Amino acid sequence: MSEFANTTCFVISGGVVEVPVGATGTDKYLTDVVAAPILGDLARLKYIEAVFRGEIALDIAEACEMEISLLGDGVSLGMVTMNTTAAKKHWAFNLGEINMSALTGSSKLTIKVDVNTAAGTVANFARISGLVDVTHPIIIS
């Protein structure tokens, strides 16, 4: 019997989402539960690790502070604070390892974005993509 590590990637919100960042507020974006990926049979496996990562592309390079949270059935699995500057438009984030042990097969993964410091004008947007990479064993006999 051999055991191998396999990685399954969950794309949150169906890919890239537009979030208004020109004004502060909580819940500036929350994944529609219809578009949220479901863990399914993966929830029965022993996790080696799960990592939440993604990218932000601002339409105009501006200073902005936003909190990007990964939720499992509405409960926070972790949050990363992003502080962008006027120096560049593209940013990457990596929350690192998250604990998904409390989730079940019907659990849905969603992203929530809060804007603490607004970026310039009200018309500014951030395009955010988020992924969860789950590494788990596969046993072959």
Q: Tens digit of pLDDT for each residue in 96-137?
A: 888 888 888 788 889 999 999 988 777 788 999 999 988 877
Strand partners, 53: 94, 131
Amino acid 44: pLDDT: 66
Q: What average pLDDT is seen over the chain? A: 85
> What tens digit of pLDDT does each residue of 47-72 get?
668 899 999 998 888 889 999 999 98
What is the rounded CA–CA span in Å between residue 54 and residue 92? 6
pTM (2 d.p.): 0.85
**For domain 12-124, which architecture applies?**
Sandwich (2.60)
Amino acid 15: pLDDT: 77
Q: To the nearest 10°, the Cα dihedral for 7, 39, 76, 102? A: -90
Q: Domain boundaries in the chain?
A: 12-124
